[in-house]
């Protein structure tokens, strides 16, 4: 795919999602439609450094293709991070942003013939939100869909009510948020416990590993550990697809 040119986007809306995470809606006026494949990202060129490659920050698109020229980004404030400090303290509705995209190959397979385990932490939930709504919107045939989202506490949950509602509407979809530092009615602990339990339960019932593919998105430590654990469960490298943050 040819590299897209730099374009000017305009911030149309900003919403606080949690204490340190915001949702940014960006419109690209020169395009009638901003087309992308769910799971892709855009790169922003922020005025934070003289060297271009020190100004670039990439963020997964959190919305889904809807035929418009507007999309959503989900961004967490990083302590000492020049890019997010600028976005949180300087950018407001009406601010122009230089952007390039869509880019990336962290996308759904052509045929959803395997169970999908979508495993994420923090803002790594963004590309999976895009994928799941796209599946529902286009009534794409699929097997089981397991969204396993790890965060610290209930106050850090992202898109919670929306994803619970989607779970009711989308056949075969299970939303499994897990909290590492708070007890609640849902899953507790790290994401690894959740997907391992699902795999072991399937093995006990069926006598074999599930016919599955694992998509991992989030901080490097989580992604690296998950990949190692999934391979130890008996899956192959081709069954694991990665997108690293940070």
For 7-62, the pLDDT digits (tens) are: 999 999 999 999 999 999 999 999 999 999 999 999 999 999 988 888 999 999 99
Question: Per-residue DSSP letters for 35-85?
Answer: ---TT-EEEEE-SS-SSHHHHEEEEEB-S---SSSEEEEEEEPPTT-HHHH
- With a cut of 50, list the residues of the chain below it in pLDDT: none
Task: Considering the domain delimited by 115-245, tell me its CATH architecture.
Answer: 3-Layer(aba) Sandwich (3.40)
Task: Considering the domain delimited by 7-103, tell me its CATH architecture.
Answer: Beta Barrel (2.40)
Give whole-number Cα distances, 144 to 83, 118, 132, 155, 243, in Å.
37, 11, 12, 28, 21
Cα 206 to Cα 243: distance, rounded to the nearest angstrom = 30
Looking up tokens 């895009």, which residue turns up?
130
- For the chain, what is the largest distance between any 2 Cα atoms, rounded to a whole number of angstroms? 59
Give whole-number Cα distances, 64 to 33, 106, 148, 194, 238, in Å.
12, 14, 19, 26, 26
Q: Quick one: DSSP state of residue 2?
A: P
Whole-model pTM: value is 0.95
The residues spanned by each domain of the chain are: 7-103, 115-245
* pLDDT on residue 219: 87
């Amino acid at each position: 795919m040819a590299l897209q040119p730099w374009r000017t986007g305009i911030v149309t809306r900003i919403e606080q999602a949690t204490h340190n995470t915001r949702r940014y809606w960006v419109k690209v006026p020169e395009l009638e439609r901003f087309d992308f494949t769910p799971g892709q990202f855009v790169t922003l060129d922020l005025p934070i450094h003289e060297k271009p490659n020190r100004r670039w920050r990439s963020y997964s698109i959190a919305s889904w293709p809807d035929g418009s020229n507007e999309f959503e980004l989900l961004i967490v404030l990083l302590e000492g991070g020049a890019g997010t400090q600028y976005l949180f303290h300087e950018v407001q509705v009406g601010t122009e942003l230089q952007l390039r995209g869509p880019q990336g190959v962290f996308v759904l397979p052509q045929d959803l013939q395997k169970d999908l385990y979508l495993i994420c932490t923090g803002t790594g939930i963004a590309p999976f939100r895009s994928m799941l709504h796209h599946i529902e919107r286009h009534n794409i045939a699929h097997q089981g869909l397991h969204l396993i989202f790890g965060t610290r506490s209930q106050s850090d949950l992202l898109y919670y009510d929306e994803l619970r509602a989607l779970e009711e509407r989308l056949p075969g979809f299970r939303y499994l948020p897990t909290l590492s530092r708070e007890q609640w009615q849902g899953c507790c602990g790290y994401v690894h416990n959740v997907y391992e339990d699902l795999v072991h339960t399937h093995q006990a019932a069926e006598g074999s590993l599930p016919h599955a593919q694992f998509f991992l998105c989030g901080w490097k430590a989580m992604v690296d550990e998950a990949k190692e654990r999934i391979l130890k469960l008996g899956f192959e490298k081709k069954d694991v697809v990665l997108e690293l943050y940070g």
